[in-house]
A and B are shown apart, each in its own frame.
Chain A
Amino acid sequence: MTTSEEVLTELRRRVEVRRQEGKYPPDLERQLEAEFASILEVVHRGEDEVDHIAHLVTVLRQEVLSLNGLVTNQSRIPGGRLYHRVVGKIVGRQTRGVAQQTQVALQRQLDVIELIQRQLRAQRDADVRVLHQIETAIRDRLMMVDALAESVLELERKATTKS
């Protein structure tokens, strides 16, 4: 094999030939870039934020369920672990109670968020269906225009031949 630079020169030459033959349309790379960028834009603009909300609600539900009012006894200070254990025993009844009340309140809030998320998803799905219908209708009409244009060209050819 020759050097990479020679190989690249040959590959570039072939690409150029294919461009001239029309196998690679002009601006192909830019079109591909633009197509992906538009998808990225749509996804980030919020269509998938609805899915993201659902994911966050699931994560939050797990976190809320694990609330128990207890914290670790770990300490870097000598004797700290024993101190935290004793304090934990003294206030445990109160912290567990507060944790339970917080759990109930957060569960209700999550129920509300989930309800809103379902509504958003339903609306989004309806929007997508409508958009698909519109897109199909436009495609049908474009095909009709194409067919008519073909007929016009055919008629033109016939007219030119006769004249």
Chain B
Amino acid sequence: MTPRQRVHQVLIGASQGDAVTGMALALRDGLREHFDSDVYALWRHGPEMERECQSLDDMPLTSGADLLLYHLSIGYQEMHDWLMAREEPLAISYHNVTPSSFYRAHNPEFADDLDLGRKEITELRNRVVLAVADSDFNKTDLVAAGYEHVHVIPAGFSPSRLVEEPYDPYLLASMRSRYPNGYVVAVGQVLPHKRIEQLMQTMHLMNSTFWGNVGLVICGVQRQHGYFQSLLRYRSRCAMVDVHFAGAVSDRELATYVRGASAYLGMSDHEGFCIPPLEAAAMGVPVVIKGAGAIPESIGNGALLLPADAGPVLAAEALNEVLTNAAMRHTLIARGHQRVRELQEQSHVQETIRLIAEVVG
């Protein structure tokens, strides 16, 4: 019997609830039907990730893998050196590297990592035998770096993954009690380019203009101390909105927060592909979102899409309309479901596996 070919995936960090990790694990499950396949990570956060992923240190110096698929979303020197020393054929799955300009002034170390990630795109180019991007928006970065054949596939992504998740009745009851007039939810890491302060401004303006007294719940891990401290201070200035920072949450908690929300609001200035609003749409929550980066092509017609340069004033007006105009609300919910169905019907994992099979022969 001929031994199975080996296709492994490589991540910098693996953590529960992280979109890239989720995509890698879903792809691994599909790959295992055809290949020996594991996910290796430099850092594995939490016991579940230690079970699901292998430590990068455990990969032998000559793994004999037929292909390594590297998920690129930031640079990190240790990973960069590791990649440059490998000899296996390399594929990249590009999830976009946020421009460092968002971070240069207040977090230069993080900005350096982002610059390294951008540099890595070019440095790896001649070694890459297969390049995949989540979106057309991401593809443009690879093409600009000289890649000739880039496939656009958001592999391993399932917008309906939270639909079957049971909700937490105690959490839902506590949210109902804290927010008797309902709340708006936003999901994503608490980072400057996500413009969390604009979410707060929008809700503050909406409540003060229309007397809605609607709350704001932000689900997402707090990655940067200074930015988060600034938001906590700013919260006291946005007196017309009760903001709850839920932090990192489990899938069950996330499903509960989102399902219980009156609407989903996104004000991010940069996204390579945007999963949370699609997950909200899958759960019947109307989405109002700024059309930055790859958001327009990801969400399609499934949301009320604001211009990429929209500010909190226009967002407040739009959100109020969605919360108070039943006809618009119902149409948005239906369009959201339609968009989720369109994405669900495309078998992205199988398409990626087909491309990988072609490459490894």
Question: Which A residues lie at the B interface, using CB under 8 A?
Answer: 1, 4, 7-8, 11-12, 14-15, 18, 23-24, 28-29, 32, 35-36, 39-40, 43-44, 48, 51-52, 55, 74, 76
A28 to B327, CA, bound (A): 30
Please give, as numbers and ranges, the residues of chain B lying within 8 Å of A74 by CB-CB distance.
57
Query: Is B312's CB under 8 angstroms from A40's CB?
Result: no
**What DSSP secondary structure best describes chain B's contact surface?**
helix
**What DSSP secondary structure best describes chain A's contact surface?**
helix
B304 at the interface (CB under 8 A from A): yes
Given contacts A40-B106, A76-B60, A76-B61, whether A4 and B226 have CB atoms under 8 Å apart is no
Please give, as numbers and ranges, the residues of chain A lying within 8 Å of B233 by CB-CB distance.
39, 43
Q: Which residue of A is nearest B201, CB measured?
A: A32
Query: Is B312's CB under 8 angstroms from A11's CB?
Result: no
Please give, as numbers and ranges, the residues of chain B lying within 8 Å of A51 by CB-CB distance.
229
Please give, as numbers and ranges, the residues of chain A lying within 8 Å of B226 by CB-CB distance.
40, 43-44, 48
Instruction: Please indicate which of the listed interface residues A14, A24, A32, A39 has the most CB atoms of chain B within 10 Å of its own CB.
Output: A32
26 A-B Cβ contacts within 8 A?
Answer: A4-B305, A7-B304, A7-B318, A7-B328, A8-B306, A8-B314, A8-B318, A11-B314, A11-B318, A11-B321, A14-B317, A18-B317, A24-B205, A29-B312, A29-B313, A32-B312, A36-B201, A36-B234, A39-B230, A40-B106, A40-B226, A43-B226, A44-B226, A44-B230, A48-B225, A51-B229
User: Which of B106, B305, B313 touches A28 (beta carbons < 8 Å)?
Assistant: B313
Query: Is A4's CB under 8 angstroms from B313's CB?
Result: no
A71 to B60, CA, bound (A): 20
Q: Which residue of B is nearest A18, CB measured?
A: B209
Report the minimal beta-carbon distance from A63 to chain B, rounded to whole angstroms: 17
Query: Is A15's CB under 8 angstroms from B313's CB?
Result: yes
Instruction: Please indicate which of the listed interface residues A11, A12, A51 has the most CB atoms of chain B within 10 Å of its own CB.
Output: A11
Report the minimal beta-carbon distance from A38 to chain B, rounded to whole angstroms: 10
B311 at the interface (CB under 8 A from A): yes
Given contacts A1-B327, A48-B226, A76-B61, whether A7 and B312 have CB atoms under 8 Å apart is no
User: Which of B197, B301, B306, B314 touches A36 (beta carbons < 8 Å)?
Assistant: B197
7 nearest A-B residue pairs (beta carbon): A1-B331, A29-B311, A36-B197, A40-B230, A44-B106, A43-B230, A11-B317
A128 to B331, CA, bound (A): 51
A106 to B3, CA, bound (A): 53
A75 to B225, CA, bound (A): 37
B332 at the interface (CB under 8 A from A): yes
A138 to B112, CA, bound (A): 43
Query: Is A15's CB under 8 angstroms from B331's CB?
Result: no
Query: Is B307's CB under 8 angstroms from A23's CB?
Result: no
Given contacts A1-B328, A1-B332, A4-B305, whether A52 and B234 have CB atoms under 8 Å apart is no
Given contacts A7-B321, A23-B209, A29-B311, whether A40 and B201 have CB atoms under 8 Å apart is no
Query: Is B61's CB under 8 angstroms from A52's CB?
Result: no
B227 at the interface (CB under 8 A from A): yes
B252 at the interface (CB under 8 A from A): no
Since A11-B318, A43-B226, A43-B233 are in contact, a sample of 13 more A-B pairs with Cβ atoms closer than 8 Å, ordered by chain A residue number, is A1-B328, A4-B304, A7-B318, A8-B314, A14-B317, A18-B209, A24-B313, A35-B234, A36-B201, A40-B106, A40-B230, A44-B226, A76-B61
Please give, as numbers and ranges, the residues of chain B lying within 8 Å of A8 by CB-CB distance.
306-307, 314, 318
Q: Which residue of A is nearest B59, CB measured?
A: A76
Please give, as numbers and ranges, the residues of chain B lying within 8 Å of A7 by CB-CB distance.
304, 318, 321, 328
A14 to B134, CA, bound (A): 37
Please give, as numbers and ranges, the residues of chain B lying within 8 Å of A15 by CB-CB distance.
313-314, 317
Please give, as numbers and ranges, the residues of chain A lying within 8 Å of B127 by CB-CB distance.
none
Which parts of B188-210 form the interface with A (CB within 8 Å)? 197, 201, 205, 209
B4 at the interface (CB under 8 A from A): no
Given contacts A1-B332, A8-B307, A23-B209, whether A48 and B60 have CB atoms under 8 Å apart is no
